Amino acid sequence: MVNFYNAYVTCSDKAKLSDVADHLDYVKKVAGAKAVGFGGDYDGVTGVPTGLEDVSKYPALVAELLARNWTEDEVKGALAENLLRVFRKVEEVKRNLQDTAPHETPIAFEELEGSCRTSYGYSNGAGTAQRPPAAL
């Protein structure tokens, strides 16, 4: 799911709809159309792109993708079908592994690549991922 948070889209406080379309194009190029999804995160971010202020603007993003030669099937996948397919597989894997203990090894922050990245999920001093608290 491509998150629409400005800082993730452009590494700055400002972004626009075409910047999100660029991200969707990139994911499609690198991972394939079946790996693309809209992930607006409107309930959890402080800045969203101009032209994508809320879900009512999705038709404009769909039009942009179609103008970039995305097929209707690829757009349908990005809107929902890809996520639903993945969730079905996740549920299948969950059922198969439900009696298996989790194995989690955090990736050190210093090992992450890229000049634009967030430290979300990492402590300020240790530089390694913080495991979420145990479920109550």
Q: What are the boundaries of each domain within the chain?
A: 2-103
In this prediction, residue 136 carries a pLDDT of 45
What is this structure's pTM? 0.76
Which mean pLDDT values do the consecutive 10-residue runs of the chain (136 residues) have?
91 95 96 95 91 96 98 97 96 94 83 76 54 48
- Residue 78 DSSP symbol: I
Contact 74, 21 (CB under 8 A): no
Q: What is the pLDDT of residue 118?
A: 72
Cα–Cα distance measured from residue 78 to residue 133, given in angstroms and rounded to the nearest whole number? 32
pLDDT value, residue 124: 61
Q: Angle between the 17-31 and 58-67 helix axes, to the nearest 10 degrees?
A: 50
